Amino acid sequence: MNTRSIFAFTLAVLLGLVVRGQTQVPAAPKTPLQLLQAMKTQNQVQLEKQTALMTKLDEIKEQAAQIKFLTKRG
């Protein structure tokens, strides 16, 4: 990952935590370990979504290259 995408992802996570923290009723206090485990789970879900998106984008890129090649032949 490049620096910009890491920064954008970090900013999005922080904004999401701020917005969610303001809209939810405060829950019972959690231990730092529980908070870290919850963050780890959320990060894993986000990474899976990003992996699926990158795979789809790679497929689209390959299809675009094929279309470009075929239009030059014709």
User: What per-residue confidence (pLDDT) applies to 21?
Assistant: 52
User: What per-residue confidence (pLDDT) applies to 15?
Assistant: 67
Question: In this structure, what DSSP letter does residue 44 have?
Answer: H
Which backbone phi and psi does 20 adopt, to 5 degrees?
-65, -40
User: What per-residue confidence (pLDDT) applies to 72?
Assistant: 86
3-state secondary structure of 74: coil
User: pTM of this prediction?
Assistant: 0.51
User: What per-residue confidence (pLDDT) applies to 9?
Assistant: 72
User: What per-residue confidence (pLDDT) applies to 61?
Assistant: 96
Query: Domain segments of the chain: what residues?
Result: 3-73
Q: Annotate 15-41 with three-state secondary structure.
A: HHHHHHHHHCCCCCCCCHHHHHHHHHH
User: What per-residue confidence (pLDDT) applies to 49?
Assistant: 97
pLDDT tens digit sequence for 9-46: 776 776 676 555 555 555 666 899 999 999 999 999 99
